[in-house]
Structure 1
Amino acid sequence: MTATTPVGASPAASPPAATPPAAAATGLTRRLDAALLARLVAGVTATGEPTTVTAPFTGEPLVSLPQSTADDVQAAYASARAAQASWAATPVRDRSTVLALLHDLVLRRRDEALDILQWETGKARGHAFEEVLEVAACAQHFSRRAPRLLAPRRRPGAFPVLTRAVESRRPKGVVCVITPWNYPLALSDDVLPALVAGNAVVQKPDTQTALSALWLRELAIEAGLPSALWQVVLGDRDTIGDPLIDGADFVAFTGSTTAGRTIAARAGQRLIGCSLELGGKNPMVVLADADVDKAARGAIRACFNNAGQLCVSIERIYVDRSVHDAFVRAFVGAVGRLRLGATLDRTTDVGSLTYQRQLDAVRAHVDDAVSRGATVLAGGRQRPDLGPLFYEPTVLTDVTPDMSLYRDETFGPVVAIYPVDGDEAAVAAANDTEYGLNACVWSRDTGHARAVAARIDAGTVNINEGYASAYGSQGAPMGGMKASGLGRRHGDEGLLKLTEPQTVASQHLLGFDPPAFLGPDRYATVLTHTLTALKRLHIR
């Protein structure tokens, strides 16, 4: 028995589910440092009973984390709000310096982050490294852009020369950031633009993956952030969900569409803003002129990074019928060569699922599809010989609308392939969903691909890449259409949404009341001629 096994290989006899697999244990020789764990746990604002987090690789206990009460949440908001005023008064260039230093610290201590990420999520090390790159890039981007974006700006006034209008950007106050378990470090980067904009933050990470968020907070404090500005609370929605929304001035949430609707409704009652990145059933379109081998290699990344537990991962592939068979052969062959297992190095391609409930959902989707006539071309099996939550990367065909897999988000290592006849059919199929988060188009002709991409209803569309081109472009907005969310992260909007625009306008020489020497009628005539002249002269 080995710690890694190709997807196409036959598993060894499976041990009982409650027994940590010996194969996984042989590849997991490094444990998290006890002193580091103690420091991170101390960063939680919590007085409730602790809960034990288990390692997905083995099912063994990983760390005990205290849980927050409603009173703890209120205390976190009080501390954050008390610290926020002086932080907002700090020059934006000084706030930006914290992010610039954080960038360096994240990269310098990347191996520490990778170990934490692997132990608490079960993902492969290469996939964990993408999280490190994302949060470092985010810190660098906003450290450089914030001084310019937040600087006061002159705007056209009511009258040229006579009116001077200035737009300023003020912080919202205290921002609530709720982050999920699948990319706990990368998605904690919503905290960074909030802080550089002058806000304080109360973050609620998922308890399973709270260590990653707490690690980033520790590095931010080391970079010069006052500790009270970034509060971390833990707990379930029933206990602290309402106090979290009720204490915030803005909410940034990443998670399910169902939870997003609930948060949006409560935020709406309070008339506060929210940004929601939600679910997806993301399509990949392989056009007739695509490089089939390149598309098949790209689909591996697009479908199976983090065992498919990625909001922008591909779950549907539409292939032009003229290249369908060639693509399927290349893709299924590549899937069969993937190395599945639990190691703290780069000898595995795909890791474990994170939660038992996610494994149950994946298994239910595949079993339902197969029972209704779908064909399994690769994978389709749980792998308890490797660990309690491993499931093989799975490729299906003959998936029909009566199967839950057809429309529902799986959020696991499962993808369905469909043949289509031409671009029109591909676009129609890609858009036949309530979601609109991410998509990708593959073609040798970039112009052709861009024309197709422009017709797909998704917040981001990648050409000849599954998701990283758009997601990694920090200067461009990232988010969803339709049931995939509201607002955007990254880009200018990723920072400006966390501020309140304020206009201060001053009037000079002449006001808006008619001067005594003109009278109302002549004043109206003069204004009419003035506005007409200004338009002709392109002054306003």
Structure 2
Amino acid sequence: MTDSRHSAAPSGGNPVAPGTDTRTAADVVTPALVARLARGVTGSGEAVSHAPFTGEVLARLPASSPEDVAAAFDRAREAQRRWRQVPARERARVLLRFHDLLLDRQYEVLDLIQLETGKARLHAHEEVQAVAVAARFYGRSAPALLRPGAHTGVLPLLTKVTELRVPRGVVGHIAPWNYPLELSAGDALPAFAAGNAVVMKPDTETALSALWARELLVEAGLPEDVWQVVLGEGPVVGPEVVARADYVTFTGSTRTGREVARTAAGRLVGSSLELGGKNAMLVLRDADVERAAAGAVRACFSSAGQLCISIERLYVHSSVADRFLERFAARTRAVRLGRSLSYGADMGSLASARQLETVVRHVEEAVAKGATVLAGGRPRPDVGPFFHEPTILEGVEPPMAVCTEETFGPVVSVHRFATEDEAVERANATPYGLNASVWTRDGRRGREIAARLRAGTVNVNEGYAAAYGSARAPMGGMGDSGLGRRHGTEGLLKYTEAQTIAHQRVLPLGPAFGLSDAAYARVMTAGLRALKSLRVH
């Protein structure tokens, strides 16, 4: 996809990175590729995806009817009965083989991610990194986490208690468009490791990346029917998935997440939801200003801000605000826009006209009500139909929409604060609680401030990647940002049911050997006192 424009934009706007890859979308998404990947979709209708770099049709894939969704669940249930019998260590080996295949053939999916989302290649590579980390972690840890566990019974030695982890069955997974590899394959891997099948509805606009991952996982040894894919309009296909699943995972808006949770709860099945955010970054008075400015660019504008955990509110101590904003604005104005299938661009496109419309509305309304643009502020149709400059706003106050609504684009509002207590209070003054960031030279102080922030993950001297990339630790939201966690032990065990098997030996838990009820009660009372004295848990 050639980008022959000059490296400097007119009127002082963000520069355009020269493209070094001359391939077009048609060179990558060939009819043969689409036909091959389409074999993984259950459906006979037609679903159309588009390329954000140009707005043109990218692929035509099968669309699924409610009957197709039912058929996918039938196949998944049949396959899951066999898959759950495969030893956990063998299931984990599939993930480890997938890890190697993914890294070896990453260039294939990097092209697809870029063409489907419009993001810069480096940001597409973040998805490869995240999925590889998840595959390695669960490939190494799942057998131990799923191993039967022994517990002390009510009568030690006489009561043998075993805890089993039983797969839930068929997981219904609804994945969004913004991270089409990570939020499809990355979330499915622990479900497979736990012995489940998955019926997934990826967003139609980014289904090729998910289908590519499915194909690669089948090559790594996953039985083909264990991962079913259905496509179609969210309000049509999504409820069909939720209505049949034994457990539901969803990443998307808070409004839709509430509907998913209500439906799942009504069926008495569990759900895990990662929803919206209005994430805050705090720059303390002792922060390394240069480092914080560079980190803020990554935190605010990666994937053009279309990341649930990206920063949209920035609070800076008044003593360093001028210096920080000078460096942050300069770095933001230097961000190179680009749409080439090569490394070099710092930021790509928004994904759609709808996303661009929201960004433009938020910026224009804020400016009309008194906010000041410190950098950016404009769409860039000279680069592509949905490009928008990375934008810094100051003077943002209620009732501006950008103040409280999730923009989900390359826009950040900056605010000055006088005390750390004030900064914490303002950062927490939102119903969301997904991610946050603290910048300081004092690591211990940074962690203390982090612990006061109401967010599922908080990064010290990084924007989001430190917490998200640490797959051994849980990641998720508080408040309106969701339920449950991905990653860590919970990211695997949520796909299981705990089953306790207690085997009572020799003596029953009741009067025996001629003991009266009163005598039995006295014996048990003495025994309970003794167990406490012996520090038995």
**TM superposition score normalised by structure 2:** 0.96
Matches within 5 A, 1:138-287: 138-188=134-184, 189-287=186-284
- Structure 1 Cα separation of the partners of residues 113 and 40 of structure 2: 18
Instruction: Give the secondary-structure state (helix, strand or coil) at the position aligned to 1:318.
Output: strand
Instruction: Give the secondary-structure state (helix, strand or coil) at the position aligned to 1:323.
Output: helix
1:80 to 60, 76, 80: 76
- Residue 404 (structure 2) pairs with residue 407 (structure 1): yes
Aligned-partner residue type, residue 458 of structure 1? A
The answer to whether the 8 A contact 1:122-1:354 is kept is yes
- Structure 1 Cα separation of the partners of residues 536 and 60 of structure 2: 65
Q: CA deviation at 1:53?
A: 1.6
Residues 271-319 of structure 1, C-alpha deviations (whole Å, 9 max, x = no match): 0000000000000000111111100000000000000000000000000
The equivalent residue for 2:515 is: 518
Q: CA deviation at 1:453?
A: 0.3
The equivalent residue for 2:299 is: 302
- The 1:373–1:450 alpha-carbon spacing in structure 2 relative to 1, beyond 3 Å, is same
Instruction: Give the secondary-structure state (helix, strand or coil) at the position aligned to 1:341.
Output: coil
Between 1:509-518 and 1:177-186, the stretch displaced more is 509-518
- Structure 1 Cα separation of the partners of residues 298 and 60 of structure 2: 33
- Residue 333 (structure 2) pairs with residue 322 (structure 1): no
- Structure 2 Cα separation of the partners of residues 276 and 249 of structure 1: 15
- Residue 457 (structure 2) pairs with residue 457 (structure 1): no
- The 1:8–1:329 alpha-carbon spacing in structure 2 relative to 1, beyond 3 Å, is farther
Matches within 5 A, 1:441-520: 441-520=438-517
The equivalent residue for 2:376 is: 379
- The 1:194–1:534 alpha-carbon spacing in structure 2 relative to 1, beyond 3 Å, is same
The equivalent residue for 2:330 is: 333
The answer to whether the 8 A contact 2:21-2:341 is kept is no
The equivalent residue for 1:290 is: 287
The equivalent residue for 2:58 is: 62
The equivalent residue for 2:128 is: 132
Q: CA deviation at 1:66?
A: 1.6
The answer to whether the 8 A contact 2:48-2:204 is kept is no
The equivalent residue for 2:103 is: 107
Percent of paired sites with the same residue: 54
Q: CA deviation at 1:3?
A: 4.0
Between 1:237-246 and 1:413-422, the stretch displaced more is 237-246
- Structure 2 Cα separation of the partners of residues 9 and 146 of structure 1: 55
- The 1:535–1:251 alpha-carbon spacing in structure 2 relative to 1, beyond 3 Å, is same
Unaligned runs of 5+ in 1: 13-20
- Structure 1 Cα separation of the partners of residues 274 and 238 of structure 2: 17
Moved over 6 A (4+): 23-26
Aligned-partner residue type, residue 158 of structure 1? V
Aligned-partner residue type, residue 87 of structure 2? P
- Residue 345 (structure 2) pairs with residue 351 (structure 1): no
Instruction: Give the secondary-structure state (helix, strand or coil) at the position aligned to 2:54.
Output: coil
Residues 460-492 of structure 1, C-alpha deviations (whole Å, 9 max, x = no match): 000000000000001000000000000000000
Residues 469-522 of structure 1, C-alpha deviations (whole Å, 9 max, x = no match): 000001000000000000000000000000010000010111112124332212
- Structure 2 Cα separation of the partners of residues 504 and 7 of structure 1: 68
- Structure 2 Cα separation of the partners of residues 453 and 8 of structure 1: 41
Q: CA deviation at 1:8?
A: 8.4
Residues 319-371 of structure 1, C-alpha deviations (whole Å, 9 max, x = no match): 01111111100100100111012111112100000011000000000011000
Matches within 5 A, 1:364-375: 364-375=361-372
The answer to whether the 8 A contact 2:174-2:238 is kept is no
Instruction: Give the secondary-structure state (helix, strand or coil) at the position aligned to 1:340.
Output: coil
The answer to whether the 8 A contact 1:11-1:385 is kept is no
Instruction: Give the secondary-structure state (helix, strand or coil) at the position aligned to 1:339.
Output: coil
The equivalent residue for 1:17 is: none
- Structure 2 Cα separation of the partners of residues 4 and 499 of structure 1: 54
Instruction: Give the secondary-structure state (helix, strand or coil) at the position aligned to 1:365.
Output: helix
Aligned-partner residue type, residue 52 of structure 2? P
- The 1:397–1:293 alpha-carbon spacing in structure 2 relative to 1, beyond 3 Å, is same
The answer to whether the 8 A contact 1:84-1:198 is kept is yes
Aligned-partner residue type, residue 122 of structure 1? G
- Structure 2 Cα separation of the partners of residues 27 and 467 of structure 1: 32
- The 1:354–1:519 alpha-carbon spacing in structure 2 relative to 1, beyond 3 Å, is same
- The 1:3–1:82 alpha-carbon spacing in structure 2 relative to 1, beyond 3 Å, is farther
Instruction: Give the secondary-structure state (helix, strand or coil) at the position aligned to 1:447.
Output: helix
- Structure 2 Cα separation of the partners of residues 313 and 377 of structure 1: 19
The answer to whether the 8 A contact 2:49-2:59 is kept is yes
1:45 to 42, 55, 64: 42
Instruction: Give the secondary-structure state (helix, strand or coil) at the position aligned to 2:28.
Output: coil
Instruction: Give the secondary-structure state (helix, strand or coil) at the position aligned to 1:503.
Output: strand
Q: CA deviation at 1:51?
A: 3.0
Aligned-partner residue type, residue 104 of structure 1? D
- Structure 1 Cα separation of the partners of residues 6 and 190 of structure 2: 39
**TM superposition score normalised by structure 1:** 0.96
Unaligned runs of 5+ in 2: none
- The 1:130–1:25 alpha-carbon spacing in structure 2 relative to 1, beyond 3 Å, is closer
- Residue 114 (structure 2) pairs with residue 118 (structure 1): yes
Instruction: Give the secondary-structure state (helix, strand or coil) at the position aligned to 1:380.
Output: coil
The answer to whether the 8 A contact 2:13-2:333 is kept is no
1:90 to 61, 86, 89: 86
Between 1:149-158 and 1:31-40, the stretch displaced more is 31-40
Instruction: Give the secondary-structure state (helix, strand or coil) at the position aligned to 2:84.
Output: helix
Aligned-partner residue type, residue 378 of structure 2? R
- Structure 2 Cα separation of the partners of residues 10 and 463 of structure 1: 33
- Structure 2 Cα separation of the partners of residues 518 and 379 of structure 1: 84
The answer to whether the 8 A contact 1:7-1:379 is kept is no
Instruction: Give the secondary-structure state (helix, strand or coil) at the position aligned to 1:265.
Output: helix
The equivalent residue for 1:16 is: none
Between 1:336-345 and 1:276-285, the stretch displaced more is 336-345
- Measured on the aligned residues, the alpha-carbon RMSD in Å equals 1.7
- The 1:59–1:261 alpha-carbon spacing in structure 2 relative to 1, beyond 3 Å, is same
Instruction: Give the secondary-structure state (helix, strand or coil) at the position aligned to 2:249.
Output: strand
Instruction: Give the secondary-structure state (helix, strand or coil) at the position aligned to 1:517.
Output: coil
Q: CA deviation at 1:536?
A: 0.9
